[in-house]
Amino acid sequence: MVTTGAPRMKITYATLSADNEELQSAFDRAVTTARGQLGDRYPMLIGDERRFADDQFEDRSPIDANVVVSRFPIGTAKDVQDAIAAARAAFSAWRDLGWRRRIELMRRAADLISERQFEYAALMAIEVGKNRLEALGDVEETADLLRYYSDVMERHQGFVEPMGSLSPTEHTRSVLKPHGVWAVISPFNFPMALSGGPAAGALIAGNTVVMKPSSDAPLLAFKFAEVLREVGVPGGAVNLVTGPGETVGAELEHNPGIDGLVFTGSYEVGMRLYSSFTREYPRPIITEMGGKNPAIVTRSADLDEAAEGVMRSAFGFDGQKCSANSRVYVDRTVARQFVDTLVEKTRKLAVGDPTRRENWMGPVINERALGKFTEAVAEAQHDGGTIEVGGQVLTGDGTQRGFFPTPTVVSGLPLGHRLFHDELFVPFVVIGEVDSLDEALEQANATPYGLTAGIFSRDDTEVRRFLDRIQAGVVYVNRRSGATTGAWPGIQSFGGWKGSGSSGKNGLGPYYVQQFMREQSQTVMGEEPPPA
């Protein structure tokens, strides 16, 4: 465990650089330690049981596919049923523990996660190929999600709200109560924050959970569940099952013992779950899905700022953030200058093993993702686009054992082209020229997605029009540190509109925890109000 000597500097996704030598060497030490732990076998967590299985899958590093990061069981429907039964058995005790005690446990867990930030980030960098700042950010975001959701619960004193009265002997209050057992299905790209954050929301509200992480990134979700157990969250309150979505995920989807489901992942899987989960009867489901996030650059923009913001959001973690900027609408009069500046900045990006300090970009998650990249490049060329920079896959210095695309900027495609509409989740940004802000807004809104968006403009009227009309759950204006990316708990709440999210309430924000509860109106007759 790397806890000693790790500097306490808060790393967020907007941290531009880390010249702090102490931080760099603490991370290097953590990587060395992490390498010594690779290939271990891990169990599923079912009630108090650590359940291993002969049937396992290998979680391999995208940096070098020969490296097995961890081995986890291929869970069966029976394993999931047992986990649900354990979560159901644990529910009433966890609910009755009360919100004060629950947030105490969550805050303790948050502190442990922060203390182990370097240990976890190093494992994450190897597991999914994040660079060190991104990995450190993911871990610290997890801790801050626990803290922020705990603060929300405390601010609302557990959501017991006195209501009006129609007579002196009538006392009414509105109480939010947990539902029971929630399934938490997570994607690969924020392996800790997007397992831990949703699980924490459900748990703080008083539910118990069955977590199912992505098979590309189960390790950090496992570490999160272990931390909760370590601080005293009872076994049955937090369960973790592993294995493919088609079996393990499907059991969570169909089992009537699941009272609510929170999913983060692709539009395709999310929409399927959204329609099938409520087929028999209404059950709450929160789906956070993909994005095709636009940036608009008007003629009044600071073009260096715009190019920097686009470059960071399009290529940070190889474009594998749901908030990644993947299309830009730039005013025709400044388009060439903007593209040239973007290309110049992109050429300077170092791509390679992301555990090494000098590399800002690493691999994409797997061979399938690399295939999407090469197909998109070929399609862009075939359809008359210009590859301004990138378009290649690295093959030297061991990179051929991983999946390393180069950051790619494409211009010249018609605005209706599929590459302006389909989420690719690779480092590939398309640039379209427009004649006005209105045209840019029309294009920006013309996809089923509505997650994040950004504008670069020095004209207040333009900025106001953008803020009034853009259809997205998270928007940014003139953000050099990321045109469309970089939300942080308690600062930018994060969620999608339209095909990007189902609930209209954002994660990381003030209305999230409430979604894991249902309201009960309690009217009690008597001379005195009932005890709290």
Name the minimum Å distance from CB 172 to ligand NAD. Answer: 37
Among 18, 231, 250, 343, binds ligand NAD (CB under 6 A): 250
What is the token pair recorded at 358? 């000098």
Contacts of 334 (CB under 8 A, 6+ apart): 297, 299, 301, 303
Name the minimum Å distance from CB 248 to ligand NAD. Answer: 8
Name the minimum Å distance from CB 425 to ligand NAD. Answer: 5
Size of the site for ligand NAD (CB under 6 A): 31
Examine the residue annotation and report whether 251 is marked as an active-site residue of this protein. no
Q: How far apart are CA 315 and CA 44, in angstroms?
A: 34
Per CB under 6 A, the segment of 43-51, 370-378, 401-409, 495-503 that binds ligand NAD is 495-503
Across 36-156, where does the E strand assignment appear? 40-41, 44-46, 49-51, 56-60, 68-73
Residue with token string 């991983």: 402
Per-residue DSSP letters for 423-449? ---SSEEEEEEESSHHHHHHHHT-SS-
76 binding ligand NAD? (CB under 6 A): no
The answer to whether 42 and 53 are in contact (CB under 8 A) is: no
Q: Which is nearer to ligand NAD, 30 or 361 (CB)?
A: 361
Q: How far apart are CA 209 and CA 202, in angstroms?
A: 7
Please, which of residues 390-429 interact with ligand NAD by CB under 6 A? 423, 425
Q: How far apart are CA 197 and CA 158, in angstroms?
A: 18
The answer to whether 294 and 453 are in contact (CB under 8 A) is: yes
326 binding ligand NAD? (CB under 6 A): no
Please, which of residues 162-201 interact with ligand NAD by CB under 6 A? 185-190, 194
Contacts of 128 (CB under 8 A, 6+ apart): 62, 188, 189, 191, 216, 217, 365
Q: Which is nearer to ligand NAD, 365 or 455 (CB)?
A: 365
DSSP, res 393: B
Q: Which is nearer to ligand NAD, 77 or 97 (CB)?
A: 77
Catalytic-labelled residue, pool 288, 388, 433, 462: 288
Examine the residue annotation and report whether 322 is marked as an active-site residue of this protein. yes
141 binding ligand NAD? (CB under 6 A): no
360 binding ligand NAD? (CB under 6 A): no
Per CB under 6 A, the segment of 48-56, 60-68, 134-142, 284-292 that binds ligand NAD is 284-292
462 binding ligand NAD? (CB under 6 A): no
Which among 61, 112, 97, 372 has a CA at the least distance from the CA of 223? 112
Q: Which is nearer to ligand NAD, 75 or 206 (CB)?
A: 75
Per CB under 6 A, the segment of 74-82, 212-220, 307-315, 380-388 that binds ligand NAD is 212-220
310 binding ligand NAD? (CB under 6 A): no
Name the minimum Å distance from CB 323 to ligand NAD. Answer: 8
Among 7, 245, 398, 490, binds ligand NAD (CB under 6 A): 245
Q: Which is nearer to ligand NAD, 214 or 298 (CB)?
A: 214
Binding track over 13-52 against ligand NAD, x by CB under 6 A: ----------------------------------------
Name the minimum Å distance from CB 307 to ligand NAD. Answer: 24
Q: How far apart are CA 161 and CA 147, in angstroms?
A: 22
316 binding ligand NAD? (CB under 6 A): no
Name the minimum Å distance from CB 73 to ligand NAD. Answer: 14
Among 47, 191, 201, 291, binds ligand NAD (CB under 6 A): 291
The answer to whether 74 and 53 are in contact (CB under 8 A) is: yes
Among 119, 127, 144, 288, binds ligand NAD (CB under 6 A): 288
496 binding ligand NAD? (CB under 6 A): yes
Cα 125 to chain centroid distance, Å, stands at 15
Among 225, 238, 306, 322, binds ligand NAD (CB under 6 A): 322
The answer to whether 74 and 41 are in contact (CB under 8 A) is: no
117 binding ligand NAD? (CB under 6 A): no
Name the minimum Å distance from CB 448 to ligand NAD. Answer: 12
249 binding ligand NAD? (CB under 6 A): yes
Among 197, 265, 309, 316, binds ligand NAD (CB under 6 A): 265
Bridge-based pairing state of the strands 49-51 and 44-46: antiparallel
Q: Judging by beta carbons within 10 Å of its beta carbon (0-12, 13-18, 19+), is residue 366 exposed, middle or buried?
A: middle
Three-state SS letters, 326-384: EEEEEEHHHHHHHHHHHHHHHHCCCECCCCCCCCCECCCCCHHHHHHHHHHHHHHHHCC
DSSP, res 406: P
Catalytic-labelled residue, pool 115, 119, 322, 433: 322
* Backbone torsion region of residue 390, taken as left when φ is above 0, otherwise alpha when ψ lies between -120 and 50, otherwise beta: left
Q: Which is nearer to ligand NAD, 291 or 363 (CB)?
A: 291
Per CB under 6 A, the segment of 10-18, 211-219, 355-363, 522-530 that binds ligand NAD is 211-219
What 3-state class would DSSP assign to 285? strand
* Backbone torsion region of residue 68, taken as left when φ is above 0, otherwise alpha when ψ lies between -120 and 50, otherwise beta: beta
246 binding ligand NAD? (CB under 6 A): yes
The answer to whether 188 and 77 are in contact (CB under 8 A) is: no
Q: How far apart are CA 375 and CA 361, in angstroms?
A: 20
Catalytic residues: 288, 322
Where along the sequence are the contacts to ligand NAD (CB under 6 A)? 185-190, 194, 212-215, 245-246, 249-250, 253, 264-266, 269, 288-291, 322, 423, 425, 451, 496, 500-501
